[in-house]
Amino acid sequence: MSNYQEIHQQSLNDPEKFWGEAATGIDWITPPTKVLDNDAKPVPRWFAGAELNTCYNCLDRHVENGRGDQNALIYDSPVTGTIKHYTYSELTDKVAKFAGALAAKGVGKGDRVIVYMPMIPEAAIAMLACARIGAIHSVVFGGFAANELATRIDDSQPKAIVSASCGIEPSGVIKYKPLLDKAMDIAKHKVECCIVKARPEQEATLQAGRDYDWEEVSANAEPADCVTVSATDPLYILYTSGTTGQPKGVIRDNGGHAVALNWSMKNIYNVEAGDVYWAASDVGWVVGHSYIVYGPLLKGCTTVMYEGKPVGTPDAGAFWRVIEAHNVKILFTAPTAFRAIKKQDPDANELKKYDISCLQSLFLAGERCDPDTLFWARDTLKIPVVDHWWQTETGWAIAANPMGIEPLEVKPGSPTVAMPGFDVQVLSADGTEMADGEMGDLAIKLPLAPGCLPTLWGNDQRFIDAYLTEHEGYYTTGDAGFKDADGYLWIMSRTDDVINVAGHRLSTGAIEEALSGHKDVAECAVFGVKCGFKGQLPLGLVVLKDGVEREYAELHSELILRVRQQIGPVAAFKMVAITKRLPKTRSGKILRGSMAKIADGDEWVMPATIDNPMIMDEISDTLNGMGYPLDEK
Ligand code: COA
Ligand code: AMP
């Protein structure tokens, strides 16, 4: 570990030297003179005073350096039967034109633009176009419902929305425009301009004076030049789930983000310019931002944008086909995608049809990689499989196996070691460091590495309360785990009410809000239960208002539909039962964690603060009635 250890130590001992050197990988308009401003509030800031343009670093500079004819983006869409290649020159032109179209609609530096799009090249083009003119994009995942979209419209107050007529799921065409119209209706903030990419699978009705056709506005646009922005100006806002129903607007700045992602491409993923990199995720998630769009393009790689699923589009050989067809060197996805493939094709018979010798390593993140999935992937692919731990907030890996520095021994179940810039410590509730092997809060000593969030959009106080208050001088990750004697990190659970369903991060609080809005529900609790396929699934318990008598099947359907309509289908909310009472502490806090343990069949102890221990027996009976704990764990 000597090489890694030395580099990690250098990054903590002399962060200015370390990241100052890494910053030379970026083309600056005004190069950084001060690498780290330790006095900035609420947290230290990277590269204050420096200026750049992220889109220039992703596109124009590669064209200027002779990569114009290299593929920048390959769009592979089994759901529409399309494969399209965009060279760096072509992508630069398309982005410049769309940036011009946005500018012509009055979008300028600092304005917000919501991007609500499926996995089509126009999503990346819209993001890069915003970066080009200094506008701040906020991509909202296509699986979110109108209500969630409206919340994000009101929080970010966008000047424009960019969308498409539809997304395509294996289950069929998802019409986006009605969702969008509904969201714009619900939102208090009124959006003046909405640009819609029409897809052949679905027409969209455009409202005169507000809605515009993507092709029309792009065709007539003057290409826009790159605008100079400060390293500390926001590049994007990405909303993520917190404990409450109100999502947190994570801000990513331009300078630190460009430096960190560019550095990560070689040192973590071990790729060079010209290599093909594929993150099979969605632009709606942080993985999509960092490793479908920005990371690979900053480095001069070819990125693959895949509109399909690991299985069902058309079969469990889908990933292998894409790897062979596009000469993919690195695949990055969530463990749940591999569980889906393993479930359908346990002996990997589909793999025999393809030559995937180009694939160098597989990277997994988004949820803990269970050892079974790791072994299956490793035995099947016969290449290194790297679990790495990160969050929307950090934008890149807090812990990983740094394949470009030196591949370290793999310990199944651990995402390996802290990356440079991250001083990860395991703390007890009173802030003392835990001994090796002992569980505690996973906290990162400030400063956070470049690329991590500097605050939440328009809400420094929420940022301070949510992340900086629990352990002074540290960022609280919301994850609990331990460090072993070799310095490996083990991420075991969340400390808040966030759950992870098929790699999608969801707030149980938001689901509870949707349930409690039902006219017959007095109160409710939602918690995550283990699922062998999706990792976790949300389970809801509702208490009905006094005197209400409902037929269960009907109420069940209404509640499921409410969550689907208010949160979205990705919540995969299918389990809800009626119970007489909910277990609470004497101060009224619902004991979700204890109920989750009962459902999972884990050991649990009656909380000392419980108000009425008898309720736990009732809950146990209700959960048994739902089939929990499962026979097979
Ligand atoms: N737009 C609209 N709806 C969407 C959507 C999108 N972008 N993505 C998912 N949905 C819908 C699905 O159609 C499904 O709807 P249904 O209830 O009508 O069937 C529902 O949301 C749940 O979808 P999903 O979580 O994708 O489950 P699935 O059973 O369809 O597929 C996996 C399971 C494992 C294949 C899929 O979850 C997957 O690929 N996960 C990887 C997640 C990931 O990339 N995470 C990012 C971190 S790397
Ligand atoms: P998101 O912000 O959606 O990327 O979700 C981040 C959360 O997912 C983390 O805080 C963890 O709880 C979980 N997570 C992500 N990657 C891993 C991993 N490799 N191991 C364990 N948990 C992970």
Ligand that lies nearest to the alpha carbon of residue 389, given by its number in the listed order: 2
Strands (E) located in 439-473: 440-445
pLDDT for the residue 632: 60
User: Whose structure tokens read 């939102």?
Assistant: 187
- Structure tokens that stand for 602 in this block: 């884990």
Residue 161, C-beta contacts closer than 8 angstroms, at least 6 positions apart: 113, 114, 115, 116, 153, 180, 184, 191, 193, 194, 195
Rg (the chain; Cα; Å): 24
Task: At 119, list the tokens.
Answer: 């996995």
From 309, 330, 387, 575, give the residue whose CB has the most ligand 1 atoms within 8 Å, as the site to mutate. 309
The answer to whether the beta carbons of residues 121 and 93 sit under 8 Å apart is no
User: For the structural domain made of 502-625, what CATH number should be given?
Assistant: 3.30.300.30
| DSSP code for 59 | I
H or E element that contains 233: none
- pLDDT computed for residue 1 by the predictor: 61
Cα dihedral 56, 57, 61, 62 sign: negative
| Model pLDDT, residue 323 | 98
How many Å separate Cα 327 from the centre of its chain?
A: 25
pLDDT number for residue 2 = 67
| CA 534 to ligand 1: nearest atom | 34
User: How far does CA 128 lie from the centroid of its chain?
Assistant: 18
Least distant ligand from the CA of 476 = 2
Calculate how far, in angstroms, residue 529's C-alpha sits from the geometric centre of ligand 1. Answer: 18
Q: How far apart are CA 229 and CA 235, in angstroms?
A: 9
- For residue 372, give the amino acid letter: D
User: Nearest CA to 458 among 227, 257, 248, 196?
Assistant: 248
Cis amide leading into 31 (omega within 30): no
Contact in structure between 85 and 317 (CB atoms under 8 Å): no
Enter the DSSP assignment of 471: S
Residue with the smallest CA separation from ligand 2 atom 20 is 368
What is the pLDDT at residue 242?
A: 79
**What does the alpha-carbon distance between residue 313 and residue 277 come to, in Å, rounded to a whole number?**
20
- H helices of 52-143, in order, are 54-55, 61-62, 88-104, 121-133
First to last CA, the chain: 36
The reply to whether omega before 15 is within 30° of 0 (cis) is: no
Domain ranges of the chain: 314-387, 502-625
* Per-residue pLDDT, 30: 98
Which candidate, 318, 322, 155, 323, places its Cα nearest to that of 250?
155
Q: What is the DSSP letter of 58?
A: I
Ligand 2 centre distance from Cα of residue 80 (Å): 31
- Ligand 1, atom 38: closest residue by C-alpha: 337
Nearest 5°: the CA angle 303, 342, 340 is 65
Report the distance separating Cα 130 and Cα 226, nearest Å: 10
- Measured from the alpha carbon of residue 278, the closest ligand is 1
* Cα–ligand 2 centroid distance for 370 (angstroms): 13
Is the pTM higher than 0.85? yes
- What residues does 139 pair with on adjacent strands? 115
CB 34 within 8 A of CB 48: yes
Tokens of 462: 């929420």
Chunked into runs of 10 residues, the chain (633 residues) has average pLDDT values of: 90 98 98 96 97 99 98 98 98 98 98 98 98 98 93 97 96 95 97 97 95 96 98 98 86 98 98 98 97 98 98 97 98 96 97 98 95 96 98 98 97 97 97 96 98 98 97 97 97 91 92 95 96 95 94 96 95 96 91 94 90 94 94 62
Residue nearest atom 21 of ligand 2, based on CA coordinates: 368
Q: Closest ligand 1 atom to the C-alpha of 364?
A: 48
- Write the CB contacts of 42 (distance below 8 Å, at least 6 apart in sequence): 454, 455, 460, 463, 464, 468
Q: Quick one: which of 434, 509, 441, 516 has its CA closest to 472?
A: 441
Helix, strand or coil, per DSSP, at residue 134: coil
DSSP codes joined into one string, 165-213: SEEEETTEEEEHHHHHHHHHHH-SSPP-EEEEE-BTTB--PPPTTTEEE
Question: Could you tell me if 38 and 44 are in contact, meaning their C-beta atoms sit under 8 angstroms apart?
Answer: yes
**Residue identifier of the C-alpha nearest atom 1 of ligand 2:** 391
Residue 337 alpha carbon, nearest atom of ligand 1:
34
Tell me which residue has its CA closest to atom 5 in ligand 1.
143
- Interstrand relation of 399-400 and 417-418 (parallel, antiparallel or unpaired): antiparallel
Among 500, 570, 575, which residue has the most ligand 1 atoms within 8 Å of its CB, making it the best to mutate? 570
Q: How far is the CA of 510 from the centre of ligand 2 (A)?
A: 19
Q: Are strands 535-544 and 521-531 parallel, antiparallel or unpaired?
A: antiparallel
- What torsion do the CA atoms of 150, 155, 160, 162 make, to the nearest 10 degrees? -60
Q: How many residues does the chain have?
A: 633
Looking at residue 440, its amino acid is: G
Phi–psi pair at 558, nearest 5 degrees? -65, -40
Which residues make beta-bridge pairs with 590?
584
314-387 folds as Rossmann fold (3.40.50)
Report CA(334)–ligand 1 centroid distance (Å).
Answer: 12
